[in-house]
A and B are shown apart, each in its own frame.
Chain A
Amino acid sequence: MTKCIKNVICTFCGTLCDDLEVDVSDDGKRIEQVRNACAIGAEKYLHVGNPGRVVVPRMRQADGTYKDVSYDEAIDFTAKTLLKAKKPLMYGWSSTNCEAIAEGNVLAEKIGGVVDNCATVCHGSSLLAIQDTGVPSCTLGEVKNRADRIIFWGCNPAHAHPRHMSRYSIFPRGFFSAKGQKGRKIICVDCRETDTAKVADHFVRIKQSYDYEVFDALRTLLRGEEIPDEVGGVPREKLQELIDICKGGRFVTLFFGMGLTHTLGRNHNIDAGINFIRDLNDYTKATLIAMRGHYNVTGAGQVLGWQYGYPFACDLSRLTTARHNPGETTSVDLLVRHEVDACMVIASDLAAHFPFEATRRMAHIPTITLDPHICMSTELSDLHIPVAIVGVEVGGCCYRMDNVPIDTRKVIDAPEGVLTDEEVFQRINKRVDELLAEAGCKDAAEYLEYLEKQEA
């Protein structure tokens, strides 16, 4: 007999679908079946039981092989490495719950580290633009119930957020959008004709990296001014048609993705996008939402935001003040410029998603990775601490892409002895306190002096 757990929250992408049904075995240890999830979500739940799961920490030996160690040894090693480092980088956070992030920030503050989350390589530029310009936004519920004009710009939900279109943006019938897809006009702007473009009513192909120009042209048209015959590979008539469609709607929502933040212009593209939406509000109701990738990258920014005032790239190495200077305190720059001397990767895969120049630096400094699975980062780090999977083996608060907090659920037990992210951080914190007390130091800076004296 299996028992069915309803309304499970999928912890993979920023859509955070909350209607999954998961069949688990009677002893609550195995997942038998997953319903309602997309291909990625289903794989996430079903592969948990695959053989080869790491259940004890692994330490890299001098010859490159790995040796199993106990959690105590692993935590001691981590505490000492972080304390010894002048400026450790603590990167990741986007695939764990907010409770663990808060606990991790306590540690970062103690050891004087730089805290940075995945936004730094995905929507960091959007956050910069939002700081500059503000953000006329809404929740996905409003989109579902009200929106009749949807624009996807530089994003590809068909691949990256597979159920986004069916739950919120294209197909669902809502209170004021009873006709569902028939009542909506979908526009897709991209340099590739993506699978999202194929389901859109209007596909606008722009030349790669011409987003800023096209936004600008749209704003110019909206104000009734003249533009050249062609902008960024799009004819003027097409742009005018877009404006007419948007103006004719009751509620416009622009979803934008990394097609805007990864190309030339970065935050200025988003700036232009936000201002376009703001201008559009003279004619109709218009909003925009960033398509956040990892399921809790938004939460990582939220926690960091309410604790230190900055959503990413927060440098706590001065111990008393938090600093945020994109280009200086952002992970890629810190690694490439060799400014950090130890690295902790938490619930994200730095080595698989950073440019190689940064990864190479990470591989050459002491690195500790907290991840439930084997990934590129674990294979390049000195210590891999396995943890329970959030949303499967432990619950916790996560933020959806529209900044709505959702409490995720536990469906099965974690393998015996495996700790959660939060517990690991609590124990590292305790160990750091012990080490400081033993040395009679009040903070990490004093501890560095103490170490220097010891060596001399």
Chain B
Amino acid sequence: MTAGTPSPLVNLFEKEDFEDWSKPHLVGATTEYSSLLALQAKKEGGERKYGNGIIVSVVTCTEIKQGVAIETGKTSQAYFDACSVIELDDEDFKTLGINKNTNVRVTSAAGTVVLKAIGARQGLYPGLAHIPMGPWANIVVPSYTYSTGEPCFCGFDCLIEPAPEAKIESAVKLMHEKCGLEYVGDPHYD
């Protein structure tokens, strides 16, 4: 698969039309949840490779750089640099066959986002990846809450595929596009 083509998993996660009120919306992400289990099953099989990508468990946490950047402004370059990344273990870089600082496409049961893969700032192990909290991470965070109100911010499976040509969107543009809103340009960032 070449960079730029959508991931084979994407149609697995086809959603119901979210504006259609007549359809039941019982447990928001049950659909995601079952495909999450499908991914899990693959992982338990011992094989983390999938196509030309790998399946990893992702955690999203706060970081000091992200904290400072929140105060600088969520439309700032600092926030972009701090949050639009995914940290991978060195071993996983080898399995993926890419160098550090390459863009990758991250697909979970909830969605797909392009991020820059960087080396671990804080120690990981093979099969564990970290995305700093923020709009980019939230595209792939499944919304299932196990009846507690808390979505799966930590410990959900993602497919990571190399996508060196793909572009990382700015936060506001990304949100507008994914929400299906018209994006009129961001005076603070563009």
Contact = CB atoms under 8 A, between A and B. Distances in A.
Same complex for A and B? Answer yes
B179 A359 contact: yes
A327 B27 CA distance: 9
B133 interface: yes
Nearest to A378: B74
B75 A327 contact: no
Contacts of B138: 352-356, 359
B182 interface: yes
Dominant SS at the B interface? loop
Interface in A114-129: 116, 120-122, 124-125, 128
Contacts of B128: 191-192, 208
A121 B153 contact: yes
Contacts of A331: 149
Interface in A312-368: 312-313, 326-327, 330-333, 336-338, 349, 351-361, 363-364
B59 interface: yes
A12 B71 CA distance: 9
Given A263-B154, A356-B178, A374-B75, A120 B188 contact: no
Chain B: number of interface residues, binned into ranges: 35 or more
B184 A379 contact: no
Contacts of A263: 59, 154-155
B135 A376 contact: yes
A293 B155 contact: no
Given A47-B73, A208-B155, A262-B152, A338 B25 contact: yes
Interface residues of A, number: 73
Contacts of B124: 192-193
Interface of B: 18-19, 21, 25-29, 57, 59-64, 67-68, 70-75, 110-111, 120, 122-125, 128, 130, 133-135, 138-143, 145-155, 171-172, 175-176, 178-184, 186, 188
13 contacts: A12-B67, A159-B61, A192-B122, A258-B153, A312-B149, A332-B28, A354-B138, A355-B143, A356-B110, A356-B178, A374-B73, A374-B74, A379-B172
Interface of A: 12-13, 39-40, 43-44, 47, 50, 52, 63-65, 116, 120-122, 124-125, 128, 156, 158-160, 162, 191-195, 197, 205, 208-209, 258-259, 261-264, 266-267, 293, 312-313, 326-327, 330-333, 336-338, 349, 351-361, 363-364, 373-376, 379-380
Closest 5 CB pairs of A and B: A330-B149, A193-B123, A336-B28, A327-B147, A262-B153
